[in-house]
Amino acid sequence: MKIFSVSFLLFGLQVAYCMPARGDDADDDIETTTTSPISNYMDRQCGEDLSNLWLDVVVVVDTSKGMTNQGLTKVAANIASVFSMGTRIGTQAGEPRTTRVALVTYNQNAKINAGLDVYQSLDDLYDDIFTVLHAVSSTDESYLAKGIAAAEDLLHIAKQNVTRSHYKQVVIVYASSYKGTGDLNPLPVADRLKTADVSIITVAFNQDNDGALLEDLALVGSPNFNFANTDSNPVGEIQGALLQANCFCPNGWTQYRTSYAYVDSYRFGVCIAPTVIPAVWRAAKLSCRNQWKNAYLLNEYDINKHNYVLDVIQNTTAFTTPYQYHIGLSYSKGAWYWEQPDGQPLKQLQHWTNWNPGYPISDSSLTVVTNLQLTSEMATAALVLPIHRLDDNPMTTPDPAMGYVDRECGTNLTNLWLDVVVVVDNSHGMTKSGLTQVASNIVTVFGESRIGVQDDEPPQELEWSPTVTELLSATDESYLAKGLAAAEQFLQDGAATAKRAQYKQVVLVYASSYKGAGDLDPLPVADRLKTSGVAIVTLAFSQHNEGPLLKGLRSIGSPNYNYANTDSHPVQELQGALVQINCFCPDGWTQYRSSYSYVDSYRFGVCMAATVIDASWRAAQFSCRSQYTNAYLINEYDLNKHNYILDFLQNITEFKKPYTYHLGLSYSKGTWNWEQPAGKPQKQLQQWSYWNPGYPKSDSTLTAVTNFENQGEESSGWQNVNVNKESQFYLCEVAACDTENFCEPVDN
């Protein structure tokens, strides 16, 4: 487990696309040397430097009589020429960009003449190739199935070499004939190899210009990798095929090509990966940089790339219409620029653009770009956003005095005040990609927050500094109990800070598995935390949509605070949970909610407290104002609030039937008005009222209201009374502590 301790918080939204430079002869984990991507305004091409080729290649040569001695010598020369453009043969310490070459010959049977570790230089290759391929065998039989089966065995063994398990594998076939049925049919073996992502290059060594041989070998080879010795430049064709085979994407990434529908269309040297956990633009930018070396937010240089991206997201389940995703375009120093790999200058926007109508908006706060599909049409286009927000409209909370309703909890995420410990599962089950998405999610959730402890400071930007490699553990073990116990210790230490004693505490858990029994059972620790008033929010980070994980975490988390990365809006869910947690009552006060009997029902942003010492209405009014800053006599805007109050006081021992209590309703200047916090105008009585029969009485001395339960009945209602003469218990009301109402410690 990794622990991140955070104080304060905020929000953002969207889905990101990342692009790394593609794995090829010019791109590896040690060093990247490519043709400068800023030399022109187009997507990167696949590398063409044959000296940096890094592959495992098995050359399979037909040595039957049909090849002829002269033909076999030409094949040897062709093989040697293919690898003579500076390609490093064998393995070399400190240089991963090497190509291993094995040699298999076949006729009636197959023979492995050299395994993948035999040739350690181009000289080794030359010496052996021309020695082995100097004379054909004495048989006319030629069974390609046996030759490529031997190649399959060699490549299977090669995959056991962990240092080269990610190297692409290639079989080059030189054949003079195509024979075989049943067990000797080469197609099943060839299909098995291609299904295992092995590229097969075929060279029809045709002595008689027989077109049927080329057609038959095309069934064996990979698409576009089928050539003939009669071609004008077979060496160049084979080298081009090797470069194409050496141009591929990491697992989980999709290679950009000219046509999404045609999988064998021309491929570019860039890869695309969707991240389907929403993030603000800035978090998406950092997430992309962490997902792979030199990765960056996607660019769209032209309409073809834009349409290709749309095809990708339409085939990604988590994306739904209207399609929306961040792109790597941002505004700086008077111009729009595309993101590029680390260390390379940004590319200025040129030529083609795809702005939505009315965009870009000239606003210094709207400096980044998101692609948004207009709901009325299938087309999508770009619009500008703030770097930390989903849209260009700031969040606003309606003034509770504007409507005739009880105050809602504050929703200004900028003003969140909490102590949060983020607990992240960093076992192998989370995966490097998953951990990067978690990092992006965390940064987005707290995107505009004031992080840490500040004295009248503006919001501080939250940076994500640890790399995924530093965070990902080498173990499959994942014990949530240990992560929660560490969080518990953090919070206990934090509680000792008197200046934050009234702050609510939260544990935010990201987990990919649920394990543990006995001392490693997370439930006792979780129950201990929740009993002490700590809210636990869980996010099941499931790579395979496992229902049991979400079910297990639900027993850990606080009610209604359990989510999954597969939810459509996990960021909003987490932010909503934090806002709800940051909406609470001072000690001794009870929060009004939609149902008294259901403690996890919707909570309003007001609190109530009963005073069980009789007082006149006027004295009760002053008492409430003195009990807490901005407190006032309680109001009853609707029947639900009235019934909630009755349920509340029925559970207070001092209240006896018939239930009677003062309300914050009084008569002034011709209308009945509700009490409000100090400095706010009273609200005039509207709509619903609950007068007892015969009330209100028209009497200038009866200007205050008390709730009386009717004798012998279960119902209760309002009666107007004298402000100084009628003594009853009373209830006070105050705004909840939330993002719009910071509550000082009780001692203050």
User: What whole-number distance in Å separates Cα of residue 706 and Cα of residue 98?
Assistant: 90
Under a CB-based contact definition with an 8 Å cutoff, are residues 480 and 1 in contact? yes
Q: Is 195 exposed, middle or buried (0-12, 13-18, 19+ CB in 10 A)?
A: exposed
What CATH number did the domain enclosing 219 receive? Answer: 3.40.50.410
Say yes or no: 172 and 297 in one domain: no
User: What whole-number distance in Å separates Cα of residue 83 and Cα of residue 50?
Assistant: 8
Position 157 in a domain: yes
C-alpha atoms less than 13 angstroms from C-alpha of 356 in its C-beta half-sphere: 19
Position 403 in a domain: no
Domain count, the chain: 4
Say yes or no: 664 and 688 in one domain: yes
Q: Where are the alpha helices (DSSP H) in 498-569?
A: 522-531, 547-556
The residue out of 556, 581, 606 marking a domain boundary is 581
Query: How far from chain centre, in Å, is Cα 637?
Result: 43
Within 8 A by CB and 6+ apart from 281, the residues are: 12, 14, 297, 326, 330, 368, 369, 370, 385, 387, 388
Position 740 in a domain: no
Q: What is the pLDDT of residue 677?
A: 94
User: What whole-number distance in Å separates Cα of residue 498 and Cα of residue 640?
Assistant: 38
Q: What are phi and psi of 445, to 5 degrees?
A: -60, -40
Q: Quote the crossing angle between the two packed helices 211-220 and 186-195, to the nearest 10°.
A: 40
Under a CB-based contact definition with an 8 Å cutoff, are residues 302 and 257 in contact? no
Position 744 in a domain: no
How far is the CA of 163 from the CAs of 167, 181, 533, in angstroms? Answer: 9, 38, 50
The residue out of 245, 267, 288 marking a domain boundary is 245
Position 224 in a domain: yes
Within 8 A by CB and 6+ apart from 432, the residues are: 291, 468, 469, 472
The token pair that represents 28 in the structure block: 């590896």
Say yes or no: 260 and 232 in one domain: no
Say yes or no: 359 and 445 in one domain: no
Say yes or no: 427 and 565 in one domain: yes
Say yes or no: 211 and 231 in one domain: yes
Q: What is the pLDDT of residue 351?
A: 80
Q: Which residue has the tokens 């994407």?
A: 249
Say yes or no: 137 and 224 in one domain: yes
The residue out of 245, 273, 298 marking a domain boundary is 245
Q: In this structure, how many other beta carbons lie within 10 angstroms of the beta carbon of residue 179?
A: 17
Residue numbers of the domain that contains 459: 2-11+413-581
Dihedral sign for Cα 680, 684, 686, 691, please: positive
Under a CB-based contact definition with an 8 Å cutoff, are residues 217 and 175 in contact? yes
Position 698 in a domain: yes
Helices (H) and strands (E) in the chain, counts: 16, 29
Position 404 in a domain: no
The token pair that represents 91 in the structure block: 């393995």
User: What whole-number distance in Å separates Cα of residue 317 and Cα of residue 285?
Assistant: 22
Count Cβ neighbours within 10 Å for each residue of 457-467 and write b for 16 or more, e otherwise: eeeeebebeee
Say yes or no: 7 and 72 in one domain: no
Q: What is the pLDDT of residue 596?
A: 94
C-alpha atoms less than 13 angstroms from C-alpha of 669 in its C-beta half-sphere: 5
The token pair that represents 392 in the structure block: 């260009």
SS (H, E, C) 433-482: HHHHHHHHHHHHHECCCCCCCCCCCCCCCCCCCCCHHHHCCCCCCCCHHH
Position 576 in a domain: yes
User: What whole-number distance in Å separates Cα of residue 583 and Cα of residue 417?
Assistant: 10
N-to-C CA span, the chain = 38
Q: What are phi and psi of 158, to 5 degrees?
A: -60, -30
Say yes or no: 233 and 287 in one domain: no
Under a CB-based contact definition with an 8 Å cutoff, are residues 243 and 266 in contact? no
Pairing between strand 199-204 and 226-228? parallel
Within 8 A by CB and 6+ apart from 430, the residues are: 424, 438, 472, 478, 510, 512, 541
The token pair that represents 599 in the structure block: 């403690």
Say yes or no: 455 and 577 in one domain: yes
Say yes or no: 150 and 78 in one domain: yes
What CATH number did the domain enclosing 664 receive? Answer: 3.10.100.10
Say yes or no: 307 and 380 in one domain: yes
- Tell me the mean pLDDT per 10 residues along the chain, length 748: 32 46 51 44 94 98 94 96 97 95 97 97 97 94 96 93 91 92 94 96 81 88 94 96 96 93 92 88 89 92 95 88 92 94 93 91 92 69 57 38 80 92 87 84 84 56 39 61 91 74 92 82 94 93 68 89 87 93 94 92 95 96 95 96 94 89 96 95 92 94 93 81 95 96 75
